């Protein structure tokens, strides 16, 4: 990423990957402070914006030093993403995670999230 905010782990970064060629392995971004407990929520495209020749891209911090741990990250993300555990695979201490409400929200299908939010609003009204 041009911002250098997170490191993008991909199959080709793993020496001697354990997966066969047909197995699809999607990449995953990890942040040095938040691990996988963050998301890119949008993209801005500036068609006419040009950067100066002096621009230096900030290199992201590699949060995973061992190939075995990178394999663990990619396997957890690709095969068990719904259990949230890939988000904690890091050499660094994760300083903030999603709340239980955030987990419930993101585990809910987008088409059903309005019902969840209405439930929370009603709960807030009745609890004072």
> Residue 2 pLDDT > 80, yes or no?
no
Phi-psi category of residue 35: left, alpha or beta, with phi > 0 → left and psi -120 to 50 → alpha? left
- pLDDT per residue as tens digits for the range 27-63: 999 999 999 998 888 888 899 998 899 988 889 999 9
> Residue 7 pLDDT > 80, yes or no?
yes
CA gap 68, 56 in Å, rounded: 31
- pLDDT per residue as tens digits for the range 66-88: 999 999 999 999 999 999 999 99
Beta strands in the chain (DSSP E): 7-9, 28-30
CA gap 88, 107 in Å, rounded: 17
Provide the whole-model pTM.
0.84
CA gap 35, 32 in Å, rounded: 6
Residue 60 contacts residue 7 (beta carbons within 8 Å): yes
């Amino acid at each position: 990423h041009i911002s250098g905010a997170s490191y993008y782990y991909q199959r080709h970064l793993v020496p001697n990957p354990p997966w066969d060629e047909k197995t699809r392995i999607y990449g995953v971004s990890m942040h040095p402070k938040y691990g996988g407990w963050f998301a890119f929520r949008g993209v801005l495209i500036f068609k006419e914006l040009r950067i100066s020749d002096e621009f230096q891209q900030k290199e992201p911090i590699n949060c995973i030093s061992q190939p075995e741990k990178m394999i663990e990250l990619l396997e957890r993300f690709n095969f068990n993403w719904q259990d949230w555990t890939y988000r904690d695979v890091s050499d660094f201490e994760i300083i903030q995670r999603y709340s239980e409400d955030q987990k419930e929200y993101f585990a809910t299908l987008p088409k059903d999230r309005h019902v969840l939010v209405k439930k929370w609003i009603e709960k807030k009204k009745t609890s004072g």
